[in-house]
Every structure is written in structure tokens, then in C-alpha cells.
Structure 1
Amino acid sequence: MSDLIEGAALAPQTFAVTRADLVAYAAASGDHNPIHQDEEVAVAVGLPGVIAHGMYTMALVGNAIAVWTDGAEVLELGCKFTQPVVVPVDGAAQVTVAGTVKSVADGRATLALEVTCDGTKVLGAPKAVVGA
């Protein structure tokens, strides 16, 4: 955490999200909603296709934070789910997590984040607070 300097840009990290990842996440989380695995069901409920679990997307943010902060304790992590991460049948959706260090004070750093999928913002107002 001592490397975090107010105003510093955090190197963007990109994660490939595949349908196999969604199946594994469903097994681990217990969230077997078919919109995360079945194209027909997803489209039938008005989605553009199978979508990633929102909390899976947040887990990717957590991974990026761990890299940036060398595993510092995450004190706060929040966002609004604004757009789905649509995962194609073949290949992968590309989720990129970027950010800046908004402030550093009292042993805490506040990170302003930007999370996109193939160029579209998928999380609204994502931020994290990490401590030493």
C-alpha cells in the first residue's frame, strides 16, 4: 500500500470471461440462475445473451485491487450494476478494470475505478477503500 500515491493511475488489468468460467462460478457460489448459462433463457427474458454474474464481475475487481495493493486489506468495495457483461458462446468477454488513487490518508487509500467490457462501462460508481 505504501506505493499508492494520490492521483496515480493504476495499470489497467483485463480479464477474459468465458462460459466455462460462469459454470465454475455458479458451482462455487450456488447461483444457478439459467441466465448465466442458457442462451435461450437469457434471450427469452430480454437479455442480449448469457450474462456474467454481477458478483463474478466484482470478484474480478477484487483481483485487480489485490494486484495493485499487494494484497492490502479491502475495507470497502461497492458499485452499481449498470450494464451486463455478455459472454459469447465461443471466445470470451474482455472485462477491463482501471482506476486512480483518489486519496491517501490515515493508513487508507480510496480508489476510483472504471470497469468496462469491450469498451462499455458495466459498473457504475465503483470504488474501493484499502488499508495497510
Structure 2
Amino acid sequence: MTAKVKYDEVEVGTELPPQTYHVDRANLVMYAGASGDFNPIHWRESFAKQVGLPNVIAHGMYTMAQAGRYVTDWVGDPGAVVDYGVRFSAPVVVPDEGGADIEVSGKIEEKLDDNKVVVALTARCNDQKVLTRARAVVRLA
């Protein structure tokens, strides 16, 4: 697969279209099974509240994966991502009723050699940043 986005089609400051990813408790249970992370803060409300959380929270790596998915959906080729990293700044609280939405947006921060760009990402839930220093280096066509 080759990246659909071309290097000469983007400039520093180009904004990627925002995307919203819905998460509910079923997603968290499926992710727990896939990742092996069965910490009860991700599925048992009484336990999450007992340890001081407002409710069940999404796995940090699940949240990170949604921002990564945003980049791979944009570029059209998962193999085009050559580097990716984030810092976790706030949990994604997932109520039993209604779940939560993770809103991800991006902007081209820098153009590098070899058709690579740095995409700065913003991920929010309920108007709170849930990831900081989120960056992906992507090789474009």
C-alpha cells in the first residue's frame, strides 16, 4: 500500500479534517481482551470510583491508538507512519450510558527530507486535552 496523500499537496500549517471516535464500555472490554490489560479501572465503575476516578476510564493505549488511527486513515497507509509518540494528559472517562467521544485533529507542523512530514495531533474529550505532545512522522507519496 502507498500513501494516498502527496508531499507536494501539503504545506506547514495544513490542517487535517477533524474526526470523532466514539468509545463505549464494550470497546474497552474488547480492547482489554486484545491487549491483556484487565485492570478493573477500565470496566468496573465501583472499583474506578474506589481508587478516586470519576468513573471507568479508557486505556491510555486505546486513546493513543485512536489518534494513530486518525493519522493512518488520513494518509491511507499504516506503513507510512515512521514515528509516533504521545504523552497522556487526562483520562477519557467512559460513562456506562452514552460512552464518550474522542475528537482528534491534526496540523502539518514541519516538512522534512525524504517526503516526510511531522503531524501535530490534538485529542480531546469533553473539551479537555487527553493527549499532549502527540506527534507522528509520516512518509507521504
TM-score range, shorter chain: over 0.9
For residue 88 of structure 1, what is the aligned residue in structure 2? Answer: 95
TM-score by length of 1: 0.95
- Give ranges in structure 1 of 5+ residues lacking alignment: none
For residue 80 of structure 2, what is the aligned residue in structure 1? Answer: 73
Size of the aligned set, in residue pairs, is 132
TM-score by length of 2: 0.89
Runs (4+) of structure 1 moved beyond 3 Å? none
Distance 2:43 2:94 in 1: 9
Distance 1:126 1:113 in 2: 5
Given that residues 14 and 94 in structure 1 are in contact (C-alpha distance below 8 angstroms), is that contact kept between their aligned partners in structure 2?
yes
Distance 2:66 2:14 in 1: 21
Give the Å deviation of 1:5.
Answer: 2.7
Give the Å deviation of 1:6.
Answer: 2.0
Give the Å deviation of 1:90.
Answer: 1.1
For residue 134 of structure 2, what is the aligned residue in structure 1? Answer: 126
Distance 2:92 2:31 in 1: 14
Percent identity (aligned) = 45
Give the Å deviation of 1:4.
Answer: 3.2
Distance 1:38 1:55 in 2: 18
- Give ranges in structure 2 of 5+ residues lacking alignment: none
List per-residue Cα deviations over 1:62-86 (Å, max 9, x = no partner): 1100121121521111111110000
Distance 2:48 2:10 in 1: 41
Distance 2:99 2:137 in 1: 29
List per-residue Cα deviations over 1:83-115 (Å, max 9, x = no partner): 000001011201001010011221211001110
For residue 99 of structure 1, what is the aligned residue in structure 2? Answer: 106
Structure 2 counterpart SS, 1:14: strand
Structure 1 counterpart SS, 2:72: helix
Structure 1 counterpart SS, 2:134: strand
Given that residues 4 and 69 in structure 1 are in contact (C-alpha distance below 8 angstroms), is that contact kept between their aligned partners in structure 2?
no
Greater mean alpha carbon deviation, residues 22-31 or residues 1-10: 1-10
Structure 2 counterpart SS, 1:109: strand
For residue 49 of structure 2, what is the aligned residue in structure 1? Answer: 43
